[in-house]
Amino acid sequence: MTLYMIGIGLNNEKDISINGLEAVKNSDVIYLENYTSKLQCSKEDLEKFYGKKIITATRQIVEAMAETTILKEAKTKNVAFLVVGDVFGATTHIDLLLRAKKLGINVRVIHNASILNAVGIVGLELYKYGKTTSIPFENRNVTTPIEVLKNNQMIGLHTLFLLDLDPDANRFMTVNEALDYLTKNGVEKNTLCIGCAALGSEEQEIRVGTAKELATEKFKKYPQCLIIPGRLHFVEEDALKQWSPVV
């Protein structure tokens, strides 16, 4: 019996790889992790395309109850654990893999695209991104994102900010909220920023401008993220000119 950990991409039900789809078809039980990101389709769309019923896996199930749910079933059945983006885009999934191996469960990992490589579309070199950080909803006394930004800027690296989300409550942090947090914590309003929404989908939104300019922009899709570039190569500068507002 096998626990299949399958990345299903960033857009819709058709982003799954052929290997991933074959593993789903071969599984007796299918879980969909629903707390680290958001697809541009519904669970019902996935079920129709896969031809399988899907169980929603909350953070509580994955992090606190896996031994009595996902891992328990994987001892006697083929179980698919679906993750939006790539399997290891969130550290919680490494923990699940380690727990499965500790229990002697066979694990097969099937990768896919994630936000960490999809950001390449904006035109900045992936090799020049520094540490990625997250901005939580409750951030009044949170300083880590600012510290990460400063450390990255010291060596000229780009900074990717992942924005908080709570799909169960249909709550998603916006680029505007992220900029409000950053500027309140010392980021200058003339700082060059890149706002993104629904990267990897046909309806992705990418806009470039100063923090002040982007603060007035409205992004319609989710999830959203924000990038503050470091030192720019002239090719990166040219690449950013394709987005609106133009720098």
CATH assignment of the domain containing 177: 3.30.950.10
Are 142 and 78 in a shared domain?
Answer: no
**Token pair belonging to 235:** 């090719």
Are 98 and 152 in a shared domain?
Answer: no
Contact 192, 213 (CB under 8 A): no
Share the mean pLDDT of the chain: 95
Tell me, yes or no, whether 187 lies in a domain: yes
Phi-psi region of 105 (alpha: psi -120 to 50; beta: other; left: phi over 0): beta
**Token pair belonging to 174:** 């916006």
Are 92 and 193 in a shared domain?
Answer: no
List beta partners, residue 134.
162
Residue 247 scores a pLDDT above 50: no
Q: The domain that contains 17 carries what CATH number?
A: 3.40.1010.10
Residue 119 scores a pLDDT above 80: yes
Are 136 and 184 in a shared domain?
Answer: yes
Are 224 and 166 in a shared domain?
Answer: yes
**How many structural domains compose the chain?**
2
Last residue in a domain, options 113, 130, 148 = 113
Contact 83, 47 (CB under 8 A): no
Last residue in a domain, options 90, 113, 136 = 113
CA angle 172, 164, 243 (to 5 degrees): 75
Q: What is the pLDDT of residues 209-233, one digit of tens each?
A: 999 999 999 999 999 999 999 999 9
Contact 231, 154 (CB under 8 A): no
Are 109 and 122 in a shared domain?
Answer: no
Q: What is the pLDDT of residues 30-71, one digit of tens each?
A: 999 999 998 899 999 999 999 999 999 999 999 999 999 999
Radius of gyration, CA atoms only, the chain: 19
Whole-model pTM: value is 0.93
Residues found in the chain: 247
Last residue in a domain, options 83, 113, 143 = 113
Residue 246 scores a pLDDT above 60: no
The domain of 63 spans 2-113
Are 128 and 210 in a shared domain?
Answer: yes
Are 100 and 132 in a shared domain?
Answer: no
